[in-house]
Amino acid sequence: MPTYQYRCTNCEHDFALKATVAEYDDGLDATCPKCGSDEVKRRIGDIMISSGSSGDGAPRCTPGGGCC
Ligand SMILES: [Zn+2]
């Protein structure tokens, strides 16, 4: 399951949300866990795959592997 990185534009707190791609496409209701603001901005390019190590670009998914 991918982790989506967000930054709160209110208090600058960085946090992450785990969601399936389907949930993400559906629109995540992201709010800052620190101040509760919904003024959050996704940090594009910082998607991490939870099973992976440090990100070097493309997520590694094997067909039928069920990692995503
Ligand atoms: Zn905040």
pLDDT tens figures, 38-56:
999 988 765 566 665 555 6
| Ligand 1 mean position, distance from CA 45 (Å) | 21
In this predicted structure, what is the pLDDT of residue 34?
97
In this predicted structure, what is the pLDDT of residue 43?
86
Q: For each of the domains in the chain, give its residue range(s) and CATH number, in order of start.
A: 2-49 (2.20.28.10)
Separation CA 52–CA 40 (nearest Å)? 25
Q: CA nearest 34: which of 61, 63, 7?
A: 7
Token code pair at residue 59: 């997520």
| Ligand 1 mean position, distance from CA 15 (Å) | 9
Cβ atoms of 27 and 38 within 8 Å: the answer is no
| Ligand 1 mean position, distance from CA 12 (Å) | 6
Question: What stretches of the chain adopt beta strand conformation (E)?
Answer: 2-8, 14-18, 40-42, 48-49
pTM, whole model, 2 decimals?
A: 0.58
Per-run averaged pLDDT (10 residues), the chain, 68 residues: 91 93 84 95 70 59 66
| Ligand 1 mean position, distance from CA 14 (Å) | 8
